[in-house]
Amino acid sequence: MPKVVGIDLGTTNSVIAVMIGGEPTVIPNSEGSRLTPSVVGFTKTGERLVGQMARRQAILNPENTVYSIKRFMGRRLNEVESERKIVSYKVEEGKNGTAVVNIPAAGKTFSPEEISAMILQKLKTDAEAYLGEKVEQAVITVPAYFNDAQRTATRNAGEIAGLKVLRIINEPTASALAYGRQLEQKHAKTILVFDLGGGTFDVSILEIGEGVYEVKSTNGDTHLGGDDFDERIVNWLADEFRKQQGIDLRQDRQALQRLREAAERAKIELSTVVQTSINLPFITADATGPKHLDVVLTRAKFDELTADLVERCIGPFKQALSDAKLTEKDLNEVILVGGATRMPSVQELVRRLTGKEPNKEVHPDEVVAVGAAIQAGVLAGEVREVVLLDVTPLSLGIETLGGVDTILIPRNTTIPTRKAETFSTAEDGQTAVDVHVLQGERPMARDNRTLGKFLLDGLPPAPRGVPQIDVTFDIDANGILNVSAKDKATGREQSIKITGTGTLDKKEVDRLVKEAEGHATEDQRQRDAAEIKNRGDSLAYQTERMLKEVGDKVSADDRRSVETALAALREALKSADGDRIKRASEALQQASYKLGEEMYKRSTAGAGAGAAGGQPGADTPAGDASSPSRWHDDNGTHEERRVPRGREHTRRRRERRGRSGRRCRGGAAGRPGRPLGGRAEGKGPGGPGDRAAELAAFPPLRGRSGKLQEAGGQRPAGRGGTDPPPDARAGADRPRQPGARAGVCRRPGRIGQGADRRPAHDPPADSRPARGHGRPADRGGRQDLRSPAARGGRRRPVARLRAGARDGDRRGAQGLPPQRRRPQAGQGHGGGRRPGERRYVTVAGSGTDPPGGSTMEFKDHYKVLGVERTADPKAISQAFRRLARQHHPDVNPGNKEAETRFKEINEAYQVLHDPDKRAKYDRVLDLRQHGGGWEEMLRGTGGGEDGRYTVYGAPEDLGQFSDFFRSLFGGLGGGGFGEGLFGEGGAAGRGGRGVEELLRRRGAGPRARGGRQNAGQDVEGTIEITLDEAYRGATRTLAIPAGGARPAHSIEVKIPRGVRSGQRIRAAGQGQGGDLYLTVQIAPHPVFTRDDDDLQCEVQVPVWTAALGGQVEVPTLSGRVMMTIPPGTPDGRTFRLRGQGMAHLRGDGAGDELVKVRLALPEPLTPRDRELFEEMRRLHE
């Protein structure tokens, strides 16, 4: 099987490694070094240089030498403004706003993918020379915090270089793979990988045990690395030189390049010494003559210059710990990765943050490539005992109402995974929706990166909130994301392959692949020409030497013939004609036959004399008795080629193996390795599986876009050629939608949004309203999916239905499925329940599915993992690791069933290993198992025609349970579940959210409450409101469906100003024959927290304002006000704004707003900022 290599494509240096004999081996490059500089240079003659040769000529050719190209991968020009200012080459705007490199010597621009492909081609060529076989497949590493566009660009670079990229993995994860091989795998260990490389910073937390490497969390900064430390030294050197000589070296490209190289050397030296001298003679010149730079940089000064860069590592470190729900004490080991971690200040920071001595056993420059090689061995079937569980570094979601990014797959979710949620329309008559896929952590869609968009059209016109549109995100083990949207009523579906925006499209990649192949041919031609020239030059030198030594031993004619041929070769070497040099070389070889014969005789005689007398003859030059570089015999002239040390070592091992007849570890004949004692290593298990089916099911995340797929569904015949689904037949009198704007769609369930009357047997639309192409009588146009969480960013708590039951009328011919009929008296869950007895139901199914929908069965996560409900976290983790080793796609390549099974296992583990999620899941599981079954409990035995309540409310605390609720509640996803009809009526209802309660029970028994008899039962629910609504007061509209003798109707519920969480609002006579009680829950506010009737917030104040005094703008719920800051205000001081808090619920007046001052520094600091702060520090010191 062809070798699969692992490549660390670094910002400063790149490394390639491969598994040989079951062990990862770093491959040296053609120069003999294990590190290849990630530098590409273009000479004025058009020659392309890569690696060390490109770095050597950088000083004299700065504008044509490209380095740190990794910082520009997959990014637009407006995202790299700071980076483009610190490089010596020109970075311009290319197609689609991407950053491209302008190379004057080549007369063209290159994309970052092309430059990276040149580096990869160099690594590929060196590996092929080392292994003696073609290299066509690779695993490439990227920083953990690379977004999708950057990962796509890396994959494209590999494709352009002629490599099939089997996997893109995170650099810290690869480091953990390399580190974990030396561990005893009996007990799980939690490790933190602190990776500070040349251009990026990553921190990842992993749990390693039983051969499973599970990434718990990852975070980082793609704008922080060793280059930034170098740049601080460069600026300091330039400032010092300007002070001394009055010349700014930053204006001279060559001088600036020399400063960068000197800064890097100084940084490296200061890792081992306390001070270093930077001496650059003739750095520049002016009218008075040449200028020299000679300064001393101490470690203390260097730490001072870079203190803020070191501090920037703290944020990602703490965030990674928080995401993993761990503390520093939970870490067993800290691994340092990346050359920049050699700096003492970085190591001291790690000690301070973790309280542990960092592990320095792994090679920080090579460990990433070694880990990539191990993963390559896993994918190639060479490594069996390792399973890598990587995560998505950034959250994935879609844009929803209000421009909010609604997350479906949170960051740090283990892959492969699948998540689905149900959305709906927000406009009557809407016929299509746009799905806008996003990646990022910002709450607003505009601040995140767009991955793709697609249109789902052909929806039958229906009232808003009725259509149910399933949006599914599916990621496989390769990180390939497929997004699909399906209308459950018609079965109509669209999907998209996500390609990173701003990267190369398929045609561009194909063109560059062909160019790279052409360049490879041209590069080979140039290498062959150089080799011919080198051989000719060597032949001429050897011939001249032989003429001096044995020229007098041959005839005059032979000597003249050799001299003539030698002169012809010397003349040919002055040209660039390879064929001419080759012909002249062959002619000289023929002419020098006699000289070679005499040289051979002389060498033989010298060797014989040495054997006889113990020393070579006195007339034998020192060293000539050893093997010559060229010799002659009856078969012609021969040349001994110099072999690089690594290849010479391989040759000798092959010879030893040939002599001993033993097989070497490494498999292939002739490959070096340790003797195996005759045992041959096989390939191991792993059938091919249905690879084509797998690829069809999971299109490449970073592949090129193709045609959108449609799964056709027939529109029902009816009005105007179409008949809307059953839910659309409700002739709803809907409250208006305050604050609605064109071009958006959202989830259902706010007051007045999606509240429609419908027959008791129709399923409610518990999916989110989404605006889209609507064609009500006078409206049309495209609109996007928007979310229920658009206002406030939080989901609503689940509405809780509290109701009793009595025996009522038997079920009539209402068209309900037989399985949902009420059991006979004395049967099922509700038999024998007393009239008026209250029962608490958290959630209930919604009835029959619409056409095209399906009801998924409830998933018992404990059964999936094979553990008891009493299992402790350790047992759950062990079960998960055991199952992961059996079912992970890497262990079962091409097996789609195994991948589906692993996604189910992963889903169960994600719930059960988190204590909070597990507790919530257990509560729902208890309800399901109560009284012989969930459906039986919901149906009951008394009251009404079906004995069921349907309560909707997106649960705030269960917001991550999308798939769980989807399976539990008949195909309605976690986001769509519980989006209710408590709408947004009233002048103050803007931004509010509510809960729809569809009460489908006819008839009710007597109910005693507060000494008063009510016919029926009281009903309790939970309504979530925003802090703004609690501040101003609001009016909510509640839609009550038909029940008993009462037709469907709406009521208004007034929310008083100053209401608090936990207080109840009573609507008399609006229950099931009793009253309706609503418990108020106030959603968290992004700015304010509430303390009784006071509000608290923090405001950022610039340090100069705090020092000198001034006015700052402060947010309040009634608008923004200006607040005066006195001089000398310290950080943390609190100011009180009278009367700006919540209104007193009883009586006049209001609370106050407490504003805490937080000092803010400008970010990033400009050189002028630093000068001012340094001057201030000197003054105070």
Q: Residue with structure tokens 């009586």?
A: 1147
With the C-alpha atoms ordered 379, 381, 382, 386, is the resulting torsion angle positive or negative? positive
CB 10 within 8 A of CB 70: yes
Strands 212-221 and 387-389: parallel
The reply to whether 190 and 219 lie within a common domain is yes
Strands 1017-1025 and 99-103: unpaired
Select from 978, 1030, 527 the least CA-distant residue to 795.
978
Query: For the residues 598-623, what does the mean pLDDT come to?
Result: 49
770: phi then psi, degrees, rounded to nearest 5: -135, 125
Q: Which of 297-311, 786-800, 903-917, 979-993 shows the highest mean pLDDT? A: 297-311
Residue 510 domain-assigned (yes or no): no
Query: For the residues 1019-1044, what does the mean pLDDT come to?
Result: 77
CATH number at residue 1074: 2.60.260.20
Give, as one character, the DSSP assignment of residue 1150: B
How many other β-carbons are positioned within 10 Å of the β-carbon of residue 1064? 13
Give, as one character, the DSSP assignment of residue 453: E
Query: For the residues 1099-1106, what does the mean pLDDT come to?
Result: 88
Q: Check residue 337 and give its pLDDT.
A: 92
The reply to whether 289 and 328 lie within a common domain is no
Q: Check residue 270 and give its pLDDT.
A: 94
Q: CA dihedral defined by 15, 19, 25, 31, rounded to 10 degrees?
A: -50
Q: Check residue 513 and give its pLDDT.
A: 61
Query: How confident is the model over 848-864, as pLDDT tens digits?
Result: 333 333 334 567 889 99
Active site residues: 8, 70, 171, 195
| Three-state helix/strand/coil letters over 199-256 | CCEEEEEEEEECCEEEEEEEEEECCCCHHHHHHHHHHHHHHHHHHHHCCCHHHCHHHH
Residue 26 domain-assigned (yes or no): yes
72: phi then psi, degrees, rounded to nearest 5: -105, 0
Residue 355 reports pLDDT greater than 80 = yes
The reply to whether 127 and 255 lie within a common domain is no
Query: How confident is the model over 366-379, as pLDDT tens digits?
Result: 999 999 999 999 98
Q: Residue with structure tokens 């968290």?
A: 1084
Q: Check residue 124 and give its pLDDT.
A: 94
State which of 1062, 1082, 1102 marks the end of a domain: 1082
CB 982 within 8 A of CB 954: no
State which of 253, 272, 306 marks the end of a domain: 306
Residue 956 domain-assigned (yes or no): no
Pairwise pLDDT comparison (390 vs 1073), residue with the higher score: 390
CATH number at residue 551: 1.20.1270.10
The answer to whether the peptide bond before residue 416 is cis (omega within 30 degrees of 0) is yes
The reply to whether 219 and 232 lie within a common domain is no
Residue 355 domain-assigned (yes or no): yes
Residue 480 reports pLDDT greater than 80 = no
Residue 309 reports pLDDT greater than 90 = yes
Reported as a pLDDT band with limits 50, 70 and 90, residue 269 is: very high
Query: How confident is the model over 144-166, as pLDDT tens digits?
Result: 888 888 888 999 999 999 999 99
CB 715 within 8 A of CB 490: yes
Query: For the residues 819-825, what does the mean pLDDT come to?
Result: 38
Cα radius of gyration rounded to whole Å, the chain: 37
Helix axes 896-912, 873-887, angle to 10 degrees: 170
The reply to whether 21 and 65 lie within a common domain is yes
Query: How confident is the model over 79-128, as pLDDT tens digits?
Result: 888 888 888 899 999 887 889 999 999 889 999 999 999 999 999 999 99
**Is the pTM of the predicted complex or chain greater than 0.75?**
no
| Three-state helix/strand/coil letters over 759-818 | CCCCCCCCCECCCCEECCCCCCCCCECCCHHHCCCCCCCCCCEEECCCCCCCCCCCCCCH
The reply to whether 232 and 221 lie within a common domain is no
CB-count exposure of residue 1132 (10 Å: 0-12, 13-18, 19+): exposed
CA distance 312 to 221: 9
Q: Check residue 320 and give its pLDDT.
A: 92
The reply to whether 1112 and 1067 lie within a common domain is no
The reply to whether 31 and 156 lie within a common domain is yes
Query: How confident is the model over 931-985, as pLDDT tens digits?
Result: 333 333 333 333 333 222 222 233 333 333 444 333 333 333 333 333 322 233 3
The reply to whether 104 and 247 lie within a common domain is no
Q: Which helix (H) or strand (E) holds 692?
A: helix 691-697
Query: How confident is the model over 172-219, as pLDDT tens digits?
Result: 889 988 888 777 556 788 999 999 998 889 999 999 888 888 899 989
Q: Check residue 505 and give its pLDDT.
A: 56
Residue 680 reports pLDDT greater than 60 = no
Percent of the chain with pLDDT over 90: 22
Q: Check residue 928 and give its pLDDT.
A: 62
Query: For the residues 385-406, what does the mean pLDDT come to?
Result: 82
The reply to whether 317 and 206 lie within a common domain is yes
Q: Indicate the residue type of 320.
A: A
Q: Check residue 426 and give its pLDDT.
A: 64
Angle formed at CA 393 by CA 387 and CA 394, multiple of 5 degrees: 145
Residue 997 domain-assigned (yes or no): no
Residue 290 domain-assigned (yes or no): yes
Residue 249 reports pLDDT greater than 50 = yes
**Structural domain tally of the chain?**
7
Residue 726 reports pLDDT greater than 80 = no
Q: Check residue 1143 and give its pLDDT.
A: 86
Q: Residue with structure tokens 């579940």?
A: 977
State which of 240, 273, 306 marks the end of a domain: 306
Reported as a pLDDT band with limits 50, 70 and 90, residue 657 is: low
Strands across the sheet with 108-110, in order?
A: 90-93, 99-103, 108-110
CA distance 404 to 390: 27
Instruction: Give the range of the structural domain holding residue 1094, as residue numbers without chain letter.
Output: 1089-1179
The reply to whether 132 and 41 lie within a common domain is yes
Q: State whether residue 877 is helix, strand or coil.
A: helix
Pairwise pLDDT comparison (921 vs 497), residue with the higher score: 921
CATH number at residue 891: 1.10.287.110
CA distance 1001 to 172: 57
Helix axes 112-131, 506-550, angle to 10 degrees: 50
Residue 1011 domain-assigned (yes or no): no
Residue 871 domain-assigned (yes or no): yes
The answer to whether the peptide bond before residue 700 is cis (omega within 30 degrees of 0) is no
Mean model confidence pLDDT for the chain: 72
Pairwise pLDDT comparison (39 vs 210), residue with the higher score: 39
Q: Check residue 44 and give its pLDDT.
A: 86
Reported as a pLDDT band with limits 50, 70 and 90, residue 136 is: very high
Pairwise pLDDT comparison (1102 vs 728), residue with the higher score: 1102
Q: Check residue 612 and give its pLDDT.
A: 44
The reply to whether 252 and 314 lie within a common domain is no
In angstroms, what CA-CA distances link 67 with 71, 255, 339?
Answer: 9, 16, 16
Select from 625, 1027, 992, 965 the least CA-distant residue to 788.
992
